[in-house]
Structure 1
Amino acid sequence: MGTGHFVEITGADGTFTAYLAVAADGRGPGIVLCQEIFGVNAAMRTLADQLAEEGYTVLVPDLYWRQQPGVDLGYTPADFDRAFTLYQAFDEQAALRDIADTAAHLRGLPGWSGDGLGVIGYCLGGKLAYLAACDVPGVDIAIGYYGVGIEKALDRLAGLKGRLVLHIAGEDAYCPAPARAAIQAAAAGNPKVEIFVYPGVDHAFARPAGDHYNRAAALLAHERSITALRPVIGPHYNLSALWDEHVRHEFDTRNVPDTMATMVAEPYVNHIPTMTGGVGYKQLSRFYRHHFIHNNPADMRLEPISRTVGASQVVDEFILCFTHDREIDWLLPGVAPTGKYVEIPMLGVVKFRGSKLYHEHIYWDQASVLVQIGLLNPAGLPVAGAETAHKLRDESLPSNSLMPSWPTSAGKPVD
């Protein structure tokens, strides 16, 4: 069912229901989320809940209410048949009135911060998001995922007032190459429009648990959507400060509950070289309590090198320094302490949902760690020890010292 609930909306044409997911912070910019042809089903409610985690108050109106209120279909052959029957009798103009009524209702909710309003849609809803951007007053930004039939309504683009983002599947039979080319040509040169094409993926690539779901493409499209939304309607977060707070509880206060409090309800952490961490609250809190926060050497510290902050992501470059005075489960699992001092360059890719940390991907060169503690002899191998950290600090140190062939290119032309 999701974390939200259904509300009633009284509009110009009658009363219909909508699924409401309130922003995780209690108030946020508004989003009208437009359904696929399957109604306000579990997939749409999941997407609404995710957007609420991102800081938005979301309404998903039942756009089939004139035909059959409360449509909630799955993806069986019978469900597809019913969905296409409903779609064939669907009135787009009536749906746009419903979207306008939903937006008006949303603006009156205590969960709306007053910062702006967007429309997002998938499939059928993807085209409706496009039409709403062109026809519905007060839409600051619209985002359409694999909208069907946009190429037949390109004349409406002249009415665009706010920003428009379209995500198109490269293998979408409902938007073949000629249709895609027509959309791109119509939008060419319009600074308000961004179009992203995802090669090799099919229609509904962002539908949770769908047959065509492509995780990489869905995550990239979501990141692009959030990047488009933030500057137009917000909300705005100091991600750098939020990340610093999380790290403080990991390494300074070493407090597991406070660390978990900086994260979403079901976060995950993946230390890529050792595949350590956890997925979900229970596993990750267990990992933090018994294998990370209280498992680190007393002198472990992070030396910052650089930081890049995006709309929903922080990329942190740093050097991790420590004495290997105990078994470090997450970094050197099963390796007895050697007493060696280690300096290792690391990179953290940290994703947020709203004001809470969603995941961490942490990268480092494990070979360099093993060299520094004496478990790997670097002789004859293209690996290095603490020199990698030294050169990160000081780029003037020699390059290409691991390349036996480097001297042979001295004096050769470079053009």
Structure 2
Amino acid sequence: MNSVLTDLPLWVPPSGRGPGLVLVQEIFGLDDYLRSVAAELASAGYVVGVPELFRRTAPGWSSTHDEAGVAASMEVASSFDPELGLSDVLATVAHLRGLPAVTGGVGVLGFCLGGSLAFAAAAAGDPDTAVSFYGSTVPARIADLAKVTCPIQFHFGGQDPYIPRSDVAVVEAAVAAHPGAEIHVQEEAGHAFHNNVAPMFHHPQAAARAWGLTREFLRRTLPS
């Protein structure tokens, strides 16, 4: 067994069963924010698994959500191998498919680093649906959208200092030509705007709009 699965954190819905979702972390690790997202998705009827992407270089990593935490997390992320991370995400998708509690399909949903990996996993052809929040490598790799056969939803902030608006426009153009893909840009928001425990990033109004769109998309493409 892939060791990412040995101690895989799982959130199970009250019914004890439902479709699977692989929730893919930001650079901050499995923190209170990600746990709250996992719990909310489980309450909506999904079996949620969160692979630990930094287990090879910084096991158990979780940081604060201030300037110091961002700097420390970026240092940890600098040692991250995205191909190994993608293999962990895909292994988690396969693992969820085999769980008795998982009925129906398995999707991926990721933020920041996880948004890049959610898109990469969709391009690998494995999940049944995918949601990518502000993945920084998405614009440069948008040609891979041609490989995506599942429904996919992208979210970006129009004021993201890490992802220029011109790069987001490249994704918009590709999505417009790809059936099953959609993109939503919160023009007034920056990076990581959904992270409600990071005051330097969180934009409550944009987060609420984007999360409403995400939940509606999941209801359509991975009904619980």
What interval of TM-score do these two structures reach, taking the shorter chain for normalisation?
Answer: over 0.9
Larger Rg: 1
Letter matched to residue 32 of structure 1: V
Report the CA distance shift for 1:14/1:165 in structure 2 as closer, same or farther (over 3 A).
closer
CA contact (8 A) 1:33 1:61 kept: yes
User: 2:10 aligns to what SS in structure 1?
Assistant: strand
Instruction: Deviation per CA, 1:260-287: give whole Å up to 9, x if none.
Output: xxxxxxxxxxxxxxxxxxxxxxxxxxxx
Letter matched to residue 75 of structure 1: H
Q: Please state if 1:123 is matched with 2:112.
A: yes
Q: Which residue among 83, 86, 103 is the counterpart of 1:96?
A: 86
Distance 1:215 1:177 in 2: 20
Letter matched to residue 94 of structure 1: L
CA contact (8 A) 1:21 1:59 kept: yes
1:24 shift after superposition? 2.5
Distance 1:128 1:104 in 2: 15
Q: Which runs of 5+ in 2 are unaligned?
A: none
| Residue in structure 2 matched with residue 162 of structure 1 by the alignment | 150
Instruction: Deviation per CA, 1:109-149: give whole Å up to 9, x if none.
Output: 23212x11110000110111111111142x11100111112
User: 1:100 aligns to what SS in structure 2?
Assistant: helix
Q: Which residue among 70, 85, 97 is the counterpart of 1:107?
A: 97
| Residue in structure 2 matched with residue 227 of structure 1 by the alignment | 216
Q: Matches of residues 176-195 of structure 1 in structure 2 within 5 Å?
A: 176-195=164-183
CA contact (8 A) 2:146 2:178 kept: no
User: 2:21 aligns to what SS in structure 1?
Assistant: strand
Report the CA distance shift for 1:195/1:14 in structure 2 as closer, same or farther (over 3 A).
closer
Q: Matches of residues 267-282 of structure 1 in structure 2 within 5 Å?
A: none
| Residue in structure 2 matched with residue 7 of structure 1 by the alignment | none
Q: Which runs of 5+ in 1 are unaligned?
A: 1-9, 236-415
Report the CA distance shift for 1:16/1:81 in structure 2 as closer, same or farther (over 3 A).
farther
Q: Please state if 1:132 is matched with 2:92.
A: no
Distance 1:69 1:17 in 2: 12
Letter matched to residue 129 of structure 1: A
CA contact (8 A) 1:19 1:40 kept: no
| Residue in structure 1 matched with residue 44 of structure 2 by the alignment | 54
Q: Which residue among 21, 28, 48 is the counterpart of 2:18?
A: 28
1:78 shift after superposition? 3.2
TM-score (ref. length: structure 2) = 0.94
Distance 2:68 2:79 in 1: 17
1:208 shift after superposition? 1.9
1:35 shift after superposition? 0.1
1:184 shift after superposition? 1.3
1:175 shift after superposition? 1.2
Distance 2:205 2:19 in 1: 27
| Residue in structure 2 matched with residue 325 of structure 1 by the alignment | none
Instruction: Deviation per CA, 1:33-92: give whole Å up to 9, x if none.
Output: 000001111111111001011111100110111112111112243322221012122111
| Paired residue total | 223
| Residue in structure 2 matched with residue 37 of structure 1 by the alignment | 27
> Which structure has more RCO (C-alpha within 8 Å, separation ≥ 6)?
2
1:199 shift after superposition? 1.5
> Would you tell me which structure has more helix in proportion to its own residues?
2
Q: Which residue among 181, 187, 191 is the counterpart of 1:203?
A: 191
Report the CA distance shift for 1:42/1:173 in structure 2 as closer, same or farther (over 3 A).
same
> Percent identity of the aligned residues?
35
Distance 2:76 2:112 in 1: 14
Instruction: Deviation per CA, 1:192-239: give whole Å up to 9, x if none.
Output: 11000102111111112221222222121111111111122211xxxx
TM-score (ref. length: structure 1) = 0.52
